[in-house]
Amino acid sequence: MAYNFKKIEAAWQKVWAKNKHKIWAAEDQSVKPKQYVLDMFPYPSGEGLHVGHVEGYTASDVYSRFMRMNGYNVVHPMGWDAFGLPAENYAIKTKQHPEKVVKKNVKRFQEQLQSLGFSYDWQREINTTDPEYYKWTQWIFVQLFKKGLAYEAELPVNWCPKDKTVLANEEVVDGCCERCGTAVERRNLKQWILKITAYADRLLNDLDGLDWPERVKEMQRNWIGRSEGAIIKFQVVSSKFQIEVFTTRPDTLAGVTYMVLAPEHPLIGKLVVNAENVKEIESYIQKSKNKSDRERQENKEKTGVALKGVMAVNPISQEKIPVWIADYVLAQYGTGAIMAVPQHDERDREFAEAFHLPIIDKPLIDKETAIQKAGGVKKVNFKLRDWIFSRQRYWGEPIPIIKCPTCGNQPVAEEDLPVKLPNVKNYEPTGNAESPLAAITKWVNVKCPKCGGDAKRETNTMPQWAGSCWYYLAYLMRGISNFQFPISKYKEVFDHWLPVDLYLGGVEHAVLHLLYARFWHKFLFDIGVVSTSEPFKKLVNQGLILGPDGQKMSKSKGNVVSPDEMVEKFGADSLRLYEMFMGPLEDAKPWDPTGIVGVHRFLGRIYNLALKIQNPKSKIQNSKLDQLLHKTIKKVTEDIQGFHFNTAISALMILLNEIEKQPEAAAAHVPTIAKLLFPLAPHLAQEVWKMLGNKGLLDHEEWPKYEKALIEDAEFELVIQINGKVRDHVMVKKGIGQSEAEKLTLNREIVKKWLEGKPPKKIIFVKDRLLNVIV
């Protein structure tokens, strides 16, 4: 009988689905040690699950099942990150409510995940678009507002003209919208902003204690971009104004030959009246304003204009130096002005060469002395900017603020949360600073919670990233009650489960979600909601699965592999096993369409082996096989702990190859194989377990232990080298001494031949390994 994976998988999935998958329910109170295994939850897109999802979700499932069998109380939840542009754009196109689209997509994702046999605690399922969920997203916003960490300000922001919304700095890649690729424009708009910069130092310093991939930590470090320097003031000649600059190189102060202001610098308006070339200056400023950020970045050729007649004084040399305006100086960083040291700074040199400014070589001064002499103050600067938090779109959490003409911005009270998204006729963005919600006057017009007068609701919504900033807490809250106030109810479960022990997902969230979530978590720590300063202790990134052509999978390239198709053709176990076998979890690797056949055959052979066992109670042993079995237990255990699933699988394959040579001993060994295989290929492992006459679920079985004494070999193959090259082998007993090994070696024909009767020059002996004869 052939390995009927369809029948087997359907049957066991039915068993698991009983009682809402209660076999995988985590216990909030347990004497067992806890383990929080978290997947980055998916955006339930219309395309369904991707093989990349399957990779990460399989890895975390293998680990969860393994930890359960090792006696841990594991919480392994799943949910949906369902707010955001794709659902909304789809809604606009098809005139359907995004909620309907999300519902449909979620159903598909649930079916797909269950068809792969993932052991999620489905009772804790969450959806960020559920009002009971976003009630809490709004609650956290209110807390941020109350602590002054959410504020409104008008500032130049990134505007995507296609999606018609503001974007955060993190959402702009190479000057383009991260979602749609359209070049981003700069607009001055009043926006809600979260003060992530208040946490810059802690976000940076606490990275050191995290068990995360070094490259992700490095990306966050670069993004936060801390630099130490000083603020130094330069007096403008015959004027009351001073130009402030930030520099990391006060030691080069003597070499400053000119200064540069960013075109947006507020002082320009005041200085320009004294300049001789007002028209020229105005035209330059206008020109740079018209440039998009992308154009400014692309054009590395330096442009600029002098403030003719305006001079500043070098505080060290007292020399008068010219003042220029140039757009290579950024308004948003430092003070928006620089002191230029063309001798030491490449950009300053380029500019000086282009505009024939002096380049002088003065000796460096001691840093401290320079700051003191120039009357400066030490200052730490960050590249990180505050998080622009409003979006002018429909499908997001409404910002829970009421705008009162007399009282100003008032937060919505806890008992009035959630502020539900109203139904609208048109989801189309308005194209100005308001979301489509602004058109719903019935919803917009409210009474001020403070004075009771007429007021209006904030109509902007939160960005895509809001809901995912705290979802790992939501799973825990879900366990005890349905998201009820007050927050203190949840203190105990947070303290029990946090931090997340293992967080698995793609590297693409390195500076977005992972930075935002750390920020919110630290805030929640500060206000006493959680007791750990970091949310995710260990992070593992799965590598990208590339198309068979080695290119990134994309619809346009036609190289997308569908998990559904693989499940249909080879089964869930084969797909899971293949994705784990392809290569190291963290590496990018191409999909080999024929490769899955190999693991499928392996599973089929295990099934056939179990089928052939006549007497499952047979105790026929084979000492060599038994030893290999225990070595395999050791290898698989250590490899799963270290996420080396590919080598764990190959160890199981080696074991099977050997057992097939001694089928009479199979009955004694196959049950252990079933246990070892269970985390990786749960359906077949469970089926084999049953075929061998066992009742019950492998979920409740204990992970096999190996016997140390058994895996110790009595003998080993001594490698004999002549001049470092392998020439011979001989089986000897373990622990053999050097003199005995030498005697044995020098008597061997091959060695005698190489020695040609001469005595060896030198002999290297490595215990229980090799003997190297130097001739």
Partner RNA sequence: GCUCGGGUGGCGGAACGGCAGACGCAAUGGACUCAAAAUCCAUCGAUCGCAAGGUCAUGAGGGUUCAAGUCCCUCCCCGAGCACCA
Q: Is 296 in the site for RNA (CB under 7 A)?
A: yes
How far is 360 from 758, CA to CA, in rounded Å? 73
Selection from 320, 321, 316, 294 nearest residue 306 by Cα:
321
Would you give the distance in Å from CA 762 to the centre of its chain?
54
The amino acid present at 661, given as its one-letter code, is: K
Question: Which tokens sit at 397?
Answer: 């959490």
**Which range in 465-473, 494-502, 556-564, 589-597 contacts RNA by CB under 7 A?**
589-597
CB 384 within 8 Å of CB 204: no
Q: Is 299 in the site for RNA (CB under 7 A)?
A: yes
By three-state DSSP, how is residue 36 classified? strand
Structure-derived torsion over alpha carbons of residues 17, 23, 26, 28, reported in degrees to the nearest 10:
110
**Which range in 28-36, 215-223, 400-408, 533-541 contacts RNA by CB under 7 A?**
215-223
Q: Is 683 in the site for RNA (CB under 7 A)?
A: no
Helices (H), 544-589: 563-570, 572-581
**Which range in 18-26, 52-60, 456-464, 601-609 contacts RNA by CB under 7 A?**
601-609
How far is 515 from 499, CA to CA, in rounded Å? 16
Shortest reach from residue 700's CB to RNA, in Å: 29
Exactly one of 15, 380, 451, 764 binds RNA (CB under 7 A); that residue is: 764
Q: What DSSP state is assigned to residue 558?
A: T
Exactly one of 11, 23, 198, 219 binds RNA (CB under 7 A); that residue is: 219
Q: Is 155 in the site for RNA (CB under 7 A)?
A: no
CB 457 within 8 Å of CB 418: no
Q: What DSSP state is assigned to residue 175?
A: T
Residue 12: which residues within 8 A CB-CB, separation 6 or more? Answer: 117, 682, 683, 686, 687
Residue list 692-731, contact with RNA (CB under 7 A): 717, 719, 721, 723-727, 729
Residue 735: which residues within 8 A CB-CB, separation 6 or more? Answer: 767, 768
How far is 522 from 508, CA to CA, in rounded Å? 22
Shortest reach from residue 69's CB to RNA, in Å: 23
Q: Is 173 in the site for RNA (CB under 7 A)?
A: yes
Residue list 611-670, contact with RNA (CB under 7 A): 644, 646-647, 649-650, 653-654, 657, 660
Residue number, 618 or 723, with CB nearest to RNA: 723
Residue number, 430 or 650, with CB nearest to RNA: 650
Residue number, 41 or 578, with CB nearest to RNA: 578
Residue list 522-581, contact with RNA (CB under 7 A): 581
Exactly one of 25, 691, 730, 770 binds RNA (CB under 7 A); that residue is: 770
Exactly one of 127, 158, 381, 468 binds RNA (CB under 7 A); that residue is: 381
Q: What are the two backbone dihedrals, phi and then psi, of residue 269, each rounded to the nearest 5 degrees?
A: -55, -35
Shortest reach from residue 300's CB to RNA, in Å: 5
Shortest reach from residue 456's CB to RNA, in Å: 36
Shortest reach from residue 389's CB to RNA, in Å: 20
Residue list 402-431, contact with RNA (CB under 7 A): none
Q: Is 233 in the site for RNA (CB under 7 A)?
A: no
In a 13 Å sphere around the CA of 118, the CA atoms on its Cβ side amount to 27
How far is 483 from 434, CA to CA, in rounded Å? 30
How many residues in total does the chain contain? Answer: 775
Residue number, 305 or 404, with CB nearest to RNA: 305
Q: Is 211 in the site for RNA (CB under 7 A)?
A: no
Residue list 110-139, contact with RNA (CB under 7 A): none
Mask for 725-744, x = binds RNA (CB under 7 A) = xxx-x---------------
Residue 395: which residues within 8 A CB-CB, separation 6 or more? Answer: 83, 84, 85, 87, 88, 91, 98, 129, 421, 427, 461
Exactly one of 39, 163, 327, 573 binds RNA (CB under 7 A); that residue is: 327
Hunting for tokens 């060290």 — which residue is that? 316
Angle (CA) 213-215-220 rounded to 5° is: 105
Q: Diameter of the chain by CA atoms?
A: 110
Shortest reach from residue 612's CB to RNA, in Å: 12
Residue number, 25 or 331, with CB nearest to RNA: 331
Q: Is 442 in the site for RNA (CB under 7 A)?
A: no
The DSSP result for 88-119, as a single string, is: HHHHHHHT--HHHHHHHHHHHHHHHHHHTT--
Mask for 333-372, x = binds RNA (CB under 7 A) = xx-x-xx-----x-x-------------------------
Residue number, 255 or 671, with CB nearest to RNA: 255
Residue number, 91 or 338, with CB nearest to RNA: 338
CB 30 within 8 Å of CB 598: no
How far is 632 from 265, CA to CA, in rounded Å? 68
Q: Is 472 in the site for RNA (CB under 7 A)?
A: no
Shortest reach from residue 239's CB to RNA, in Å: 22
Residue number, 161 or 595, with CB nearest to RNA: 595
Exactly one of 94, 182, 242, 297 binds RNA (CB under 7 A); that residue is: 297
Q: Is 316 in the site for RNA (CB under 7 A)?
A: no
Mask for 237-256, x = binds RNA (CB under 7 A) = ---------xxxx-------
Residue number, 194 or 256, with CB nearest to RNA: 256
Shortest reach from residue 624's CB to RNA, in Å: 15
Residue number, 565 or 660, with CB nearest to RNA: 660
Q: What DSSP state is assigned to residue 127?
A: E
Hunting for tokens 């249909």 — which residue is that? 568
Q: Is 602 in the site for RNA (CB under 7 A)?
A: yes
Selection from 128, 197, 208, 151 nearest residue 533 by Cα:
208
Shortest reach from residue 502's CB to RNA, in Å: 20
Shortest reach from residue 250's CB to RNA, in Å: 8
Exactly one of 595, 662, 711, 760 binds RNA (CB under 7 A); that residue is: 595
Q: Is 432 in the site for RNA (CB under 7 A)?
A: no
How far is 418 from 400, CA to CA, in rounded Å? 8
Task: Report CA-CA distances (Å) from 625 to 494, 620, 718.
Answer: 47, 11, 22
How far is 729 from 717, CA to CA, in rounded Å? 6
The backbone region for 654, taken as left when phi is positive above 0, alpha when psi lies in -120 to 50, beta otherwise, is alpha
Q: Is 302 in the site for RNA (CB under 7 A)?
A: yes
**Which range in 62-70, 79-87, 213-221, 400-408 contacts RNA by CB under 7 A?**
213-221
Q: How many residues bind RNA (CB under 7 A)?
A: 79
Q: Is 300 in the site for RNA (CB under 7 A)?
A: yes
CB 78 within 8 Å of CB 41: yes
Q: Is 262 in the site for RNA (CB under 7 A)?
A: yes
Residue list 480-509, contact with RNA (CB under 7 A): 507
